Chains A and B, each alone.
Chain A
Amino acid sequence: MSSTATEPQRHQTVELDRVVIRFAGDSGDGMQLTGTQFTATSSLFGNDTATLPDFPAEIRAPAGTLAGVSAFQVHISDHDILTPGDAPSVLVAMNPAALKANLGAVSSGGTLIVNADGFDERALEKAGYPSNPLTDGSLAGYRVYEVPMTSLTLEVGKEAGVKPRDAERSKNFFALGLVCWLYSRPTEPTLTWMSERFASSPLVLDANTRAFKAGYHFGETAELFEANYQVRPARLEPGVYTNITGNNALAWGLIAAAHQAGLPLFLGSYPITPASDILHELSKQKHFGVRTLQAEDEIAGIGAAIGAAFGGALGVTTTSGPGIDLKSESIGLAVSLELPLVVIDIQRGGPSTGLPTKTEQSDLLHAMYGRHGESPVPIVAARTPSHCFEAAIEAVRIAVTYRTPVFLLSDGYLANGSEPWRLPDVASIPDIDPGFATAPEVGAADDGENRHSGDFQPYRRDEVTLARPWALPGTPGLEHRIGGLEKEDVTGDVSYDPVNHERMVHLRAAKVAGIASSVPPVEVDDALGPGGSPVLLLGWGSTYGAIGAAVRRVRARGLDVAHAHLMHLNPFPPNLGEVLRSYMDVLVPECNLGQLSKLVRAEYLVDARSMTKVQGQPFRAAEIEKAVLALLGIDPEAATSSSPQEDVAS
Chain B
Amino acid sequence: MTDTAVPVTTRKDWTSDQEVRWCPGCGDYSILAAVQMLLPDLGVRRENTVFVSGIGCAARFPYYMSTYGMHSIHGRAPAVATGLAVTRPDLDVWVVTGDGDALSIGGNHLIHALRRNVNITILLFNNQIYGLTKGQYSPTSEQGKVTKSTPFGSLETPFNPISLALGAEATFVARTHDMDRKHMQETFRRAHDHRGAAFVEIYQNCNVFNDGAFERITGRDVRAEELIPLVHGEPIRFGTEGQHGVVVDPDGRVRVAEVAQVGEQALLVHDEQREDPGLAFQLSRLARGPYEPTPIGVFRAVQRPEYGDAMSRQLLDAAEKRGPGDLEALLHSGGTWTVES
Contact = CB atoms under 8 A, between A and B. Distances in A.
A527 B66 CA distance: 63
Contact of A46 (B65, B69, B332, B337): B337
Interface in B171-217: none
B223 interface: no
A285 B108 contact: no
Interface in A266-300: 266, 268, 285-291, 293, 295-297, 299-300
A514 interface: no
A311 to B, nearest CB: 4
A352 interface: no
B80 interface: yes
B91 A474 contact: yes
Given A240-B338, A307-B52, A481-B70, A315 B322 contact: no
B84 interface: yes
Contacts of A480: 68-69
A300 B79 contact: yes
B87 interface: yes
A295 B87 contact: no
B108 A289 contact: no
Interface stretch (A50-58, A61-69, A92-100, A446-454): A446-454
A476 interface: yes
A449 B7 contact: yes
B83 interface: yes
B91 to A, nearest CB: 5
B83 A423 contact: no
Contacts of A297: 108
Given A238-B341, A479-B66, A40 B335 contact: yes
A262 interface: no
A306 B52 CA distance: 12
Contacts of A296: 79, 108-109, 111-112
Contacts of A264: 87
B72 to A, nearest CB: 6
Nearest to A244: B334
A238 B340 contact: yes
B222 interface: no
Q: In the complex, which range does the number of interface residues on chain B fall in?
A: 35 or more
Q: Number of contact residues on A: which range applies?
A: 35 or more
A296 B47 CA distance: 30
Given A452-B17, A484-B72, A493-B18, A304 B83 contact: yes
A308 interface: yes
Given A238-B339, A478-B47, A483-B71, A268 B331 contact: no
Contact of B331 (A252, A288, A329, A454): A252
A329 to B, nearest CB: 6
Given A481-B63, A482-B70, A299 B16 contact: no
A305 B69 CA distance: 16
Interface string B27-58: 00000000000000000011111101001000
Interface in A448-465: 449-450, 452-454
Given A450-B13, A478-B47, A307 B80 contact: yes
Interface in B60-108: 62-63, 65-73, 76, 79-88, 90-91, 108
A256 interface: yes
Contacts of B52: 307
A315 B83 contact: yes
Interface in A377-399: none
Interface string A221-254: 0000000000001001111111110001000100
Contacts of B220: none
A515 to B, nearest CB: 25
Contacts of B339: 46, 233, 236-239, 241, 422
A287 B315 contact: yes
B250 interface: no
A306 B72 contact: yes
Contacts of B112: 295-296, 300
Nearest to A481: B69
Interface of B: 7-9, 13, 16-18, 45-50, 52, 55, 62-63, 65-73, 76, 79-88, 90-91, 108-109, 111-112, 311, 314-315, 317-319, 321-325, 327-328, 330-332, 334-341
Given A289-B319, A309-B83, 16 more contacts: A238-B339, A255-B327, A266-B86, A296-B108, A296-B111, A300-B76, A304-B79, A304-B86, A310-B68, A449-B7, A453-B16, A474-B91, A479-B66, A479-B67, A483-B70, A493-B18
8 contacts: A240-B332, A287-B321, A297-B108, A300-B82, A307-B84, A311-B84, A483-B70, A483-B72
